[in-house]
Amino acid sequence: MDDIVIVGGGIIGAATAYFLSKEGRKVKVIERDPTYKKASFPLSLGGFRRQFYQKENILLGKFAREFISQIPEILKTEKNPNPTASIVPNGYLLMFGPEHAEEQYRALENHRACDAGTKNIKGSELSNIFPYINNAGIETATYTDNKSEGWIDPFMFHGALKSKAIELGAEFIKGEVKSISEIKAKIIVSAAGCWTKELLNDIPVVPQKHTVFRVKCPKHIPEMPLTGDLTTGVYWRPEGKEYLAGSPISVFDAKDLEPAWNDFDELVWPALAKRIPAFEELKLTGGWAGYYDCNKLDNNAVVGKHPKYDNVYMASGFTGRGLMQAPGIGRALTELITTGSYQSIDISVFAVERVLKSNARPEPYVL
């Protein structure tokens, strides 16, 4: 019998394998597609932030920053002596219209309680700090300027975690798990991302297709933060000499990962050009689509032991934030499995029981 089997070798599986192996556990990770063609993490925007509503999400975002800044030391291996996640710490800027302002002021109280370092300005003052932004319709905005938020290269991050886990003794094997019951292990961890429901059919986590557009603009603003306009749901960030822009329109039950090209002209470009006048001149150069592991109940994570089994744990439902939460979740699951409770960040609010009882606890700041 195996000690620990993790189903799914994506970012959550790799982070969990790393933390468990560090504690001396013997971990086997089963991944059906080691090219990760359709997995969520390589198709993500790589953003890490602490600007959420709920304290647990803020604290997981803070730990993400702490962890990725230590990658060169803690994930160093003989095969990968200079690991990096290519951090771009440009910060995040979130802009809210009058309808979301009150909620954002309450979120800011949570930011303060968690010492998140978020700054708040009136919409009318935005152009003092971000001169390229048109502030029409923005009541309030929050941002960081202390390098605590930004984005990373998801594939490099995954590679560094995986290679350290392997050096610590974890085994990654190719295979598809059809049913949890076929695994013989002391502990089973489901890290199957948006496909979680295939293994645990009472968990409301499903694939939600999102499109990202790549655009080029004659005016390049390299210092631009990852910017979310909550009045339209469109978000964007620089990518080299271009920009990436995410569409808020999502599709459940999508048949394929063909990008929703029509959304660009209909919604994304007008929203970008309205907010940043220089973007009127932009050109579409490419794009892709990927699946969020969407928790349909409340857009929040589902993490912990599944109460219907003696030995099954799970982590999924990150709804657009699984990459940044991976270090905190890998550490939290390891604490739960090895000591029986959370030791660092208490994330018991994300327990599986919550979704089984349909106790929604929505995280509103989904990008």
Ligand X SMILES: Cc1cc2nc3c(=O)[nH]c(=O)nc-3n(C[C@H](O)[C@H](O)[C@H](O)COP(=O)(O)OP(=O)(O)OC[C@H]3O[C@@H](n4cnc5c(N)ncnc54)[C@H](O)[C@@H]3O)c2cc1C
Q: Which residue is nearest to ligand X (CB)?
A: 10
d(CA 207, CA 210): 9
Contact call for residue 225 and ligand X (CB under 6 A):
no
The residue within the footprint of ligand X, chosen from 5, 6, 10, 229 (CB under 6 A), is: 10
Contact call for residue 93 and ligand X (CB under 6 A):
no
As a three-state string, the secondary structure of the chain is CEEEEEECCCHHHHHHHHHHHHCCCCEEEEECCCCCCCCCHHHCCCEECCCCCCHHHHHHHHHHHHHHHCHHHHCCCCCCCCCCCCCECCCEEEEECHHHHHHHHHHHHHHHHCCCCCEEEEHHHHHHHCCCCCCCCCCEEEECCCCCCEECCHHHHHHHHHHHHHHCCCEEEECCCCCHHHCCEEEEEECCHHHHHHHCCCCCEEEEEEEEEEEECCCCCCCCCEEEECCCCEEEEEECCEEEEEEEEEEECCCCCCCCCHHHHHHHHHHHHHHCHHHHHCEEEEEEEEEEEEECCCCCCEEEECCCCCCEEEEECCCCCHHHHHHHHHHHHHHHHHHCCCCCCCCHHHCHHHHHCCCCCCCCCCC
Contact call for residue 29 and ligand X (CB under 6 A):
no
The least distance separating ligand X from the CB of residue 84, rounded to whole angstroms, comes to 17
Give the footprint of ligand X on residues 125-144 (CB under 6 A): none
The residue within the footprint of ligand X, chosen from 50, 275, 321, 354 (CB under 6 A), is: 321
Contact call for residue 213 and ligand X (CB under 6 A):
no
Pairing of strands 171-174, 119-122: unpaired
The least distance separating ligand X from the CB of residue 123, rounded to whole angstroms, comes to 24
- Phi, psi values for residue 164, rounded to 5°: -70, -40
Contact call for residue 322 and ligand X (CB under 6 A):
yes
Contact call for residue 176 and ligand X (CB under 6 A):
yes
The least distance separating ligand X from the CB of residue 12, rounded to whole angstroms, comes to 4
The least distance separating ligand X from the CB of residue 124, rounded to whole angstroms, comes to 29
Segment interacting with ligand X (CB under 6 A) among 126-134, 188-196, 254-262, 342-350: 188-196
The least distance separating ligand X from the CB of residue 272, rounded to whole angstroms, comes to 17
Residues near ligand X (CB under 6 A), total:
42
Both tokens of 66, joined, read 């702490």
The residue within the footprint of ligand X, chosen from 71, 183, 212, 230 (CB under 6 A), is: 212
The set of residues, in sequence order, having a beta carbon less than 8 Å from that of 187 and lying 6+ positions away, is 3, 4, 5, 311, 313, 337
Segment interacting with ligand X (CB under 6 A) among 137-145, 272-280, 316-324, 337-345: 316-324
Contact call for residue 170 and ligand X (CB under 6 A):
no
Pairing of strands 47-48, 27-31: unpaired
Segment interacting with ligand X (CB under 6 A) among 70-78, 101-109, 289-297, 298-306: 289-297
Both tokens of 193, joined, read 């991302």
Segment interacting with ligand X (CB under 6 A) among 82-90, 186-194, 217-225, 274-282: 186-194
Contact call for residue 228 and ligand X (CB under 6 A):
no
The residue within the footprint of ligand X, chosen from 229, 293, 335, 363 (CB under 6 A), is: 293
Nearer to ligand X, 39 or 126 (CB): 39
d(CA 313, CA 290): 25
The least distance separating ligand X from the CB of residue 315, rounded to whole angstroms, comes to 7
The residue within the footprint of ligand X, chosen from 318, 333, 335, 336 (CB under 6 A), is: 318
Q: Show the binding pattern over residues 32-71: x = contacts ligand X (CB under 6 A), - = does not.
A: xx--x--xxx-xxxxx------------------------
The residue within the footprint of ligand X, chosen from 87, 165, 205, 324 (CB under 6 A), is: 324
Q: Under the rule (CB under 6 A), what is the footprint of ligand X? A: 7-13, 30-33, 36, 39-41, 43-47, 176-177, 191-195, 198-199, 210, 212, 290-293, 316, 318, 320-324
